[in-house]
Chain A
Amino acid sequence: MAAPLITGYDCSITVGGTVFDDVVASFELSFDTESLTYNVLSGPRAAGGSESGSLNITFAYDSGETPSLYDSLWTAKGTQIAYVATAGNSTYTGTAIAVRPGLPATAGSIVECSVELALDGMPTQAPVVVKSAAK
């Protein structure tokens, strides 16, 4: 059986309880795990360290719309904001620290904003739902 491929078509992003797929061009949950290393006589040893992560979102400027991702982030700046990121059958839930989005304007282009939100703790991954083929 061919492995299922997940594309942006199968993804969704919710911020502050509202689904913003209408304006989001891309998002990325990324994680960084520090490793602790130490060299002893028998060789190098390593152990897991602290984890951190970020949620990057690129979206069309939508200030003034109801609801508005731009206005939600602007209003919530510096505070926790809940997010739900879905890719196929996987769902990641957590909170991040909102930041003010910038306002890049270019003649002849859609105004598009990018933000990087620091994660407040690691997200919870909902169990992947495996769908069986019809028999």
Chain B
Amino acid sequence: MTVLTAARAHLVDLYQLSGIDAYLYTPPVVIPPIVTVLPASAWIEPNRVGKYHAKLELTVTAYVGLIDPSTALQQLETLIDELILATPSGVLITSVDAPRVDSTSSQGDLLASDLTIHAQVRRD
């Protein structure tokens, strides 16, 4: 496992320990509420002298079902709040995007929001 995968896996583990259904990939069948941790752009940015360190930018996407629009936004707000609390010290949340509607073929519409986070990684 490279340091890039390990960084995402560490975050997913922490979220799962907090009771959040988190994934390293977008599962083929999405059963909300779920969270995915995926690379963002700019994904890797050198920010230290030497060859071992880089800043990693990731997108943590929170999905909730949009079956009942009256409660979906509240569910998303609760999930985002849980994510913020579960994100470890040293990992920087730089922004949380406004909710959007994502359509899936199997599960219908989802209400989704992206958290952009920065982490520092070291490869040995």
| Contact A110 B49, beta carbon cutoff 8 Å | no
Given contacts A22-B122, A108-B92, A110-B92, contact A8 B46 (CB under 8 A): yes
A122 within 8 A of B: no
A109's closest neighbor in chain B, by CB? B92
What is the CA–CA distance of A88 and B8 in the complex, to the nearest angstrom? 32
CB of B47 closer than 8 Å to a CB of A: yes
B49 touches A13 (CB 8 A): yes
Instruction: Let me know if A24 is at the binding interface, CB within 8 A.
Output: yes
Query: Which residues does chain B contribute within 8 Å of A115, judged by CB atoms?
Result: none
Q: Which residues of A contact B52 (CB under 8 A)?
A: 21-22
Closest to A110 in B: B92
Cβ contact of B49, chosen from A25, A108, A109, cutoff 8 A: A25
Task: Verify if A118 is at the interface (C-beta below 8 Å from B).
Answer: no
Contact (Cβ within 8 A) B94 A25: no
With A9-B46, A22-B122, A25-B47: A108-B94 Cβ-Cβ less than 8 Å: yes
Which A residues are in CB contact (< 8 Å) with B53? 21-22
Chain A residues, Cβ within 8 Å of B48: 8, 21-25
A26 contacts B49, CB within 8 Å? yes
Q: How many residues of B contact A (CB 8 A)?
A: 13
Of residues 14 through 66 on chain A, the ones whose CB sits less than 8 Å from some CB of chain B are 21-27, 60
Residues of A in contact, count (CB < 8 Å): 17
Docked Cα-Cα span, A108 to B49, in Å, equals: 23
Q: Mark B72-102, 1 if CB is under 8 A from A, else 0.
A: 0000000000000000000010100000000
Chain A residues whose C-beta falls within 8 Å of the C-beta of B47 in the assembled complex: 25
Q: Which residues of B contact A12 (CB under 8 A)?
A: 49-50
Contact of A113 with B by CB under 8 A: no
Q: Is A11 an interface residue (CB 8 A)?
A: yes
Report Cα–Cα, A40/B124, bound state, in Å: 62
CB under 8 Å from chain A, chain B span 31-86:
46-53
- In the complex, are the beta carbons of B92 and A11 less than 8 A apart? no
Residues of A within 8 Å of B94, CB to CB, are 108
Residues of B within 8 A of A60 (CB): 120
Closest to B52 in A: A21
List 7 A-B pairs, Cβ < 8 Å. A8-B49, A9-B49, A22-B122, A24-B48, A25-B47, A60-B120, A110-B92
Chain A interface (Cβ within 8 Å of chain B)?
8-13, 21-27, 60, 108-110
Which residues of B pack against A, CB within 8 Å? Answer: 46-53, 92, 94, 118, 120, 122
